[in-house]
Amino acid sequence: MMKYISTRGNAPELTFEDVLLTGLATDGGLYVPKEVPQYSLEEIQSWRDLPYTELAHKVIYPFVEGCVDSDALKGMLEDVYNNTNFGHKAIAPLQQLDHNEYVLELFHGPTLAFKDFALQLLGRLLDYVLERRNEKVVIMGATSGDTGSAAIEGTKACRNVDIFILHPNGKVSEVQRRQMTTVEGDNIYNIAIEGNFDQAQDMVKASFGDQSFLRGERKLVAVNSINWARIMAQIVYYFYSSLNLGGPLRPMAYSVPTGNFGDIFAGYMARKMGLPIEQLVIATNTNDVLHRLMSKNQYEVRPLKHTITPSMDIAVSSNFERLLFDLYDRDGSVLAGLMAKMNARDDIISLDEDKLAKARELFDSLAVDEHTTVEVMKEVYAETGYLLDPHTAIGVKAARECRRNPNIPMITLGTAHPVKFEDAVGRAGFDMPELPHHLKDLMEREERLSVLPADLNTVQQFIAENTFRD
């Protein structure tokens, strides 16, 4: 059975089941697999003809073995990655932009962003584990856009989960709000906070820190990308895209629009498991903390900027700690010291040059401003007639700038559908594309939300009252 350890070396080893139900480790670290399964090229090649669901079983099962029965996992994967739930039969199709240049379309799920790949599965896994334990949990999260809707869609059918998603009232786009507030389910609560995203986020953090308002009967579960199960589900599409383009017999390069470093870390994991990946490009917007670190070896947290790529608007990139853990030879105590310095934020921190050099063997990075993002959307449309969402456009720009070898296929992860990002599409001079089939009547559907003041007590009381209603 796979064991999971904390990146800071001072928390108990956990099973998959416990990691699924936990947020941060008790020492403040993030959980990672103690040993990563490794596959030979022959073995990976033998997966070449598998459809998405079967490939997902090969990749995911070793991470959950002993906690989730093989057939049960198969059932969940079939329930998630099918043509009713995803609007494309291939689940993760490739779109070609140029010779050896591709976009991997990860936006055919229910909420039109890649987060569906993980959160759809996470909901099923939670319910399966909770049913067996005869427990119920509360999901609480704050969102400025994509995570909230994907989490709500992923857990709406869960019998053992109540979900409370906070968003800043009036500060998310109409499509994004409606994707959260029109989902039917009596375990779903949308809370519109009369305040900004940071206030909502602070209330969530405070609630995780002191959960006494739940009277000890329930636990809070985190659905942001610090949850290992999310990373795990995202490893699959690196294998899938590579195998579709002649891997593992030829290497691939990937460019990944990055915020919290979750999606790109999944690519790093795929490589550790044996998939030949030559290069990973970290593509950021002007919230460029990772690009400054990679290019100048200066780690400095700066205030958040709001951009036309809101899903990449972050000040710190929490999953980067998982990469640092490997760079520092999985030494938890060294990493705990480094993270304490990095989190103190009173200084510019540098990594040891040899550690950074190791990272640079695989990773390149680029930060892309709003003007350039919009220009790339226009440019790619002129070249191919294909409209990129602004996040993906940042990925394509970074792919083109950072590419090392034109003979290696370069795949940019297409993280969202452009219809979600009206601002950027308008600025690039395009009409709004049509909503995909399953969302055609989104603008007419009935909304359900509760507007609450930005007051911790009021919010916690609301959650407690609705959690113990039965």
Ligand X SMILES: *Cc1c(COP(=O)(O)O)cnc(C)c1O
- Residue number with CB closer to ligand X (203 or 312): 312
Closest CB 265 distance from ligand X, rounded Å: 8
Q: Does 391 bind ligand X (CB under 6 A)?
A: yes
Instruction: Mark 431-460 with x for binding to ligand X (rule: CB under 6 A) and - for no binding.
Output: ------------------------------
- Distance of closest approach, residue 85 Cβ to ligand X, in angstroms: 18
Is residue 237 within the footprint of ligand X (CB under 6 A)?
A: no
Query: In terms of DSSP bridges, do strands 137-142 and 161-168 run parallel, antiparallel, or are they unpaired?
Result: parallel
Alpha carbon distance 127, 159 (integer Å):
7
- x/- site string to ligand X, residues 163 to 202, per CB under 6 A? ----------------------------------------
Q: b/e for 172-200, b at 16 or more Cβ within 10 A?
A: beebbbbbbbbbeeebbbbbbbebebebb
Q: How far is the CB of 367 from ligand X (least distance, A)?
A: 14
* Nearest distance from C-beta of residue 108 to ligand X, angstroms: 13
Q: Helix (H, G, I), strand (E, B), or coil: what is residue 307?
A: coil
**Segment 205-224, which members bind ligand X (CB under 6 A)?**
none
Strand runs labelled E in 287-434: 363-367, 410-414
Return the closest-CA partner of residue 383 out of 142, 173, 70, 101.
Answer: 101
Q: How far is CA 179 from the centre of its chain?
A: 17
Q: Which is nearer to ligand X, 33 or 259 (CB)?
A: 259
Closer Cβ to ligand X, 29 or 390, answer by number: 390
Distance CA 115, CA 165 (A): 15
Rule CB under 6 A: choose which of 126, 351, 416, 452 binds ligand X: 416
Instruction: State in angstroms the smallest separation of the CB of 410 from ligand X.
Output: 18
Mention every residue, 6+ apart, whose C-beta is less than 8 A from residue 99: none
Which residues between 78 and 137 bind ligand X (CB under 6 A)? 113, 115
Closer residue to ligand X (CB): 215 or 305: 305
Element (H, E) at 383: helix 370-384
Per-residue contact track with ligand X, 130 to 149, x per CB under 6 A? Answer: ----------------x---
Strand locations in 322-373, DSSP E? 363-367
Catalytic site includes residue 89: no
Reference 252, options 398, 45, 100; nearest CA is: 100
In the numeric block, which tokens belong to residue 254?
């990937």
Rounded to a whole number of angstroms, the distance between the first and last alpha carbons of the chain is: 36
Q: Where are the beta strands (DSSP E) in 214-309?
A: 219-221, 252-257, 277-284
Residue type, 451: V
**The pair of three-digit structure tokens given for residue 93, joined into one six-digit string:** 């199709």
Q: Does 225 bind ligand X (CB under 6 A)?
A: yes
Q: How many residues of this chain bind ligand X (CB under 6 A)?
A: 16
Of residues 130 and 142, the one with the C-beta less far from ligand X: 142
Residue closer to ligand X by CB (options 163, 459) is 163
Residue type, 240: Y
Nearest to 325 by CA among 336, 317, 309, 315: 336
Nearer to ligand X, 32 or 44 (CB): 32
Q: For the CB of residue 420, give the shortest distance to ligand X in the complex, in Å.
A: 8
Q: What are phi and psi for residue 181, nearest 5 degrees?
A: -85, -10
- In the list 6, 160, 307, 415, the residue contacting ligand X (rule: CB under 6 A) is 415
The strand pairing partners of 113, in sequence order, are 416
- Contact characters 250-289, ligand X, x per CB under 6 A: -------xxxxxxx--------------------------
**Single residue of 104, 140, 308, 312 touching ligand X by CB under 6 A:** 312
Nearer to ligand X, 146 or 364 (CB): 146
> Which of these is catalytic: 115, 171, 219, 397?
115
Residue at 257: amino acid letter: P
Q: Which H/E stretch holds residue 141?
A: strand 137-142
Which residue in 149, 169, 311, 467 binds ligand X (CB under 6 A)? 311
Q: How far is the CB of 307 from ligand X (least distance, A)?
A: 12
Distances (CA, A) of 337 to 27, 352, 410: 12, 13, 37
Q: Does 364 bind ligand X (CB under 6 A)?
A: no
Nearest distance in Å: CB 325, ligand X:
17
Complex with ligand X: residue 39 or 86, whichever CB lies closer: 86
CA distance 375 to 367: 14
What is residue 70's three-state secondary structure? Answer: helix
- The distance of closest approach from Cβ of residue 225 to ligand X in the complex, given in angstroms and rounded to an integer, is 5
Residues identified as active-site:
115
Q: Footprint of ligand X on this chain (CB under 6 A)?
A: 113, 115, 146, 225, 257-263, 311-312, 391, 415-416
